[in-house]
A and B are shown apart, each in its own frame.
Chain A
Amino acid sequence: MNTSPSMMSRDPVWRTVERVRRRLRGVLLLRSVLTGCACLSVITVLLWHLQVPGLAPDSAGGRVVALAGGLLAAALVARHAQRVFFDSARAALWIEEQQQPAGPSSFALVTWVEQQASRVPTLRDSVSATDTAGWLYDRANAQLARTDIAGALWRSTRRQLLGPALFASGALALVLVSRSHGIAVVVSAASRPASLVAPEVSRLLPLGVWDVHVTPPSYTGLPARTVGDVHTVRVLGGSVLRVTGDGPLPDSVSGRAVRDDSLAQRTRVAAPMQTMENGRWTLQWVAAEVPMEFRMTRGGRTRLLLLDAYADSVPAVTLDLPARDTVLRVAAGRFPLRASVRDDIGLQSARFELIVSSGEGERFTARTVMVGEQRLNGARSATLSAALDLTAMQLGPGDIVHLRAMARDAHPQSAREYGLSDTRSFRIARAAEYDSVAVEPAPPPEVDKSLLSQRMVLLLTEKLQQRRPRMVRGDVVTESSRLARDQARLRQSVGDVVFQRLSGESSAEHSHYAGDGHEHGVDLAGGKLSLSAKVTDGMVEEGNDSPVIAINQPLLEAYNAMWDAGRELEVGDPAAAIPHMKLALAALERARAASRLYLRGKPPTVIVDVAKIRMAGKDTGVVSTRRARDLVPSRDAARDARVVAAAQLVARDAEAARDSIAVLRLEVVADAPALAAALDALLQTMARGGDVTDGFVRARRVLGGVVRTEAGVWSRAVPP
């Protein structure tokens, strides 16, 4: 049979074969598409699970990888389909294979189709060939009639597409159901502006890997660093911490200070600055100076970022010279000063500070002097030297100079604390201080009261003496006797003071006398007092400037002069009393002017008779209700329980166990450095994937205070 293309297209056998070919090609194309989609889904899920940096499913890289995988799979399937089915002969062969019931194939249809497909349409075949073609055509046509082509196509379609369709459906279901509709997120994230990626979308993706970037404060001059996907990062307080990751922003971010102390309680955890750019999220904090814990959650996955934050320490300052406190007899010459300063980051300046205090008693003045200031321009350590010119400082006897070195680092905070050395002090000796002894300070009001009264008695006596020529003798005696009683009262008050100072007894005038066997420091003889020999031994001869003498001898003089004045007044002779009274007044003035010295030494011994005065007070108080305090839990026991819980968690969730240990390490690093070191070793073992048993045991031993001595040569536990 000789046929042109137009004739062939109208030939029913040829049309049938072509229809089958197109149908099979469509089925196989669909199969390749389904296979590609299935591969795309599988790769997406794999990328989620593998957490390959930079290949998150919703990132550009992740999308490229997934699409490439899907296209490759589809292309492979399509290429296979083209090789197998994409010509008419193969379609005819497929039809022959579908013959029902199955029997030996005549291959007439295939032969005819091959002949038709290989002929040039304008050529005319020979008669024999025409006969053969006609015979073939009839056989092919008969074969088509025997074949249920529609049913075969349906079975083939089902067979070809069922597997890939199930594969693709399963993969898609895996993405959509188990991983929160990942395909939809990829599409959504790709089609929306980054700022529009809403929280409801971000919940769809689990939190993946992140990059941590630390920028130290600018004043430190330290370089910024990228530490990668870490769970603990050590940062200087004030550093800017930037965490970036693929996909939408985390659903929730929470932070807290890990340590439980006052500084941590005062630390406010600021919300991070959140940004999105190029499909990557970024959180940014300024690190505080206490360890912090940040929890970030997205897509049902929570990750922990621990900030092992530390404060910029104040400079350490050691005062090398002068090495010790001293006392100088003369304030002259030059005093060498030297100090060593060092800092963990960099020093800005250092100097010596002197406080010069002058005065005595309760009157002190102080002035501050700065010496030897030096700019250190960020040096880590330095030696500070200066010389102190004592002559120029115009120090006087009794002055005390408190000296210390101080240094400041480059921390920009205005109230930044200085690093301070210990304080040395040197004192300029007073000329007479070696003759002094500590005395109990006398309360001035008693003496002052007597003084004023003595002056009044003296004035009244002088007035009496002025009026005396105009008065009768009886009136003079009466008034003089009254003044004598006032004078006696004052004398008794002064006597009380004297006895109190010397013996601690309030008054003893009524019962003490010379040779009574009591040692009071004074003797009472003939109504007059005198210092006993024991008290004056070795003191009076040295210039009468002992505090005991300086205070008490004038009082004794006053007492005795009052005694004489009182005697004269009692006999009605005010004129004779006045000189004694003036002597008494002058003596009291001297007592008042006596310097009171405060010297370091053993305080006076006062033993309170508690039994005697117990509840003797007139006032009563009320003990207000006392708040019940919570029992303080055993800190170590709580920590031990956490270590044990983490050990039990390792087998089930190593990442959670690692986080627990990391948080605990941050909490204890301030107050239990040995435990922190043990936990740090444990964390390193975890990171290596090694056996953590020994690490947990060591941590618990540190907690329990168990000390294991190293095995020595004599230990039986060690093989020789």
Chain B
Amino acid sequence: MSTMSHGTAASHGAAVCGLGTRVEPFVFATAQYESGDWDSAPMVPANVIDSIARYTTIPVRPQGVVASLSSEAIFQYPLLYLTGHLPVRFTTREAEVLRTYLARGGLLFVDDHNHDVDGAFHKTVREEIRRVAGPLVPLPNSHELYRCFFVFENGPPTTSHEMNGWGDNLVHEQLDAVLRDGRIVVLYSNKDYSSEWSFHPDNKRFLSVDNTKFAVNLVVYALTR
């Protein structure tokens, strides 16, 4: 981990969004889709926003938004968070809009709230991702996603839900992704960050190590790559 001072980090954070120009604050967007329980982790947005404010100087809107996948409003948001437990079936319109969103440079972060390899969400959402964006491939743990702000030497941080043996009873070594021109367009996680990060941000004070820091990397990556 770097020993960089807060001030320097702050200036870097500002540089991320471009100094000298009017900077629109980052807005954390949760994807709403027709099928399934898209809102199963309602506290994740607040927690991620809290982490962005806590560790970076990236201007951030204090409240997340819910963006319907069938609406071109999602084009305003560089990062989309999608989760759930139930089967995911994109409508034709949702698939079209999402395909365009990814082609225009958006990043879709999909987290399996079931963290279950054979779960309905896992199977269906991977199928839908393949249909919309192409096949998912393992993302190497040396990828710049894991060092674009905080450094995660061993790849994606392990969640307590994995450690407790819930879900598929596995600790997943890596995330999967769809890469386009070397850039992540879809990031898929079986690690259940939706459970791990779904708590009131005020309760971070009880944690010896903030488990939401990886979300900062995700946002920084989406904004800068």
Contact = CB atoms under 8 A, between A and B. Distances in A.
Given A606-B201, A613-B54, A623 B148 contact: yes
B101 to A, nearest CB: 15
Interface in A398-418: 400, 402, 404, 417
B172 interface: no
Contacts of A357: 86-87, 120
Given A262-B134, A620-B4, A610 B53 contact: yes
A423 B94 CA distance: 12
B186 interface: no
Q: How large is the interface on A (under 10, 10 to 19, 20 to 34, 35 or more residues)?
A: 35 or more
Contacts of A619: 1, 55, 150, 210, 213
Interface residues of B, number: 71
State the main secondary structure of chain A at its contact with B.
Answer: loop
B175 to A, nearest CB: 18
B176 interface: no
A710 interface: no
Nearest to A417: B131
A626 interface: yes
A270 B49 CA distance: 50
A362 B114 contact: yes
Contact of A441 (B37, B166, B198): B198
Given A357-B120, A440-B43, A608-B63, A613 B35 contact: no
B141 interface: no
Given A603-B39, A604-B42, A621 B198 contact: no
Max chain B C-beta neighbours (<10 A), residue from A600, A610, A613, A617: A617
Contacts of B43: 440, 603-604, 606
Contacts of A610: 49, 53, 60, 62
Contacts of B201: 606, 608
Contacts of B151: 621-622
A623 B200 contact: no
A443 interface: yes
B199 A443 contact: yes
B180 A608 contact: no
Contacts of B210: 617, 619
A615 B49 contact: no
Interface string B31-62: 00011011110110110011101111100101
A622 B4 contact: yes
B4 A621 contact: yes
B104 to A, nearest CB: 12
A165 interface: no
Interface in B184-225: 195, 198-203, 210, 213, 216-217, 220, 224-225
Interface in B1-35: 1-6, 9-10, 12-13, 15-16, 30, 34-35
A718 interface: no
Interface string A623-644: 1101100000000000000000
Given A608-B63, A613-B54, A615-B6, 10 more contacts: A417-B131, A603-B30, A604-B43, A606-B45, A607-B46, A607-B63, A614-B54, A622-B9, A623-B220, A623-B224
26 contacts: A262-B134, A355-B120, A357-B120, A364-B114, A366-B87, A417-B131, A420-B131, A422-B92, A443-B199, A603-B30, A603-B39, A605-B63, A607-B46, A608-B53, A608-B63, A614-B57, A616-B54, A617-B55, A619-B55, A619-B213, A620-B55, A621-B4, A621-B9, A621-B56, A621-B149, A622-B149
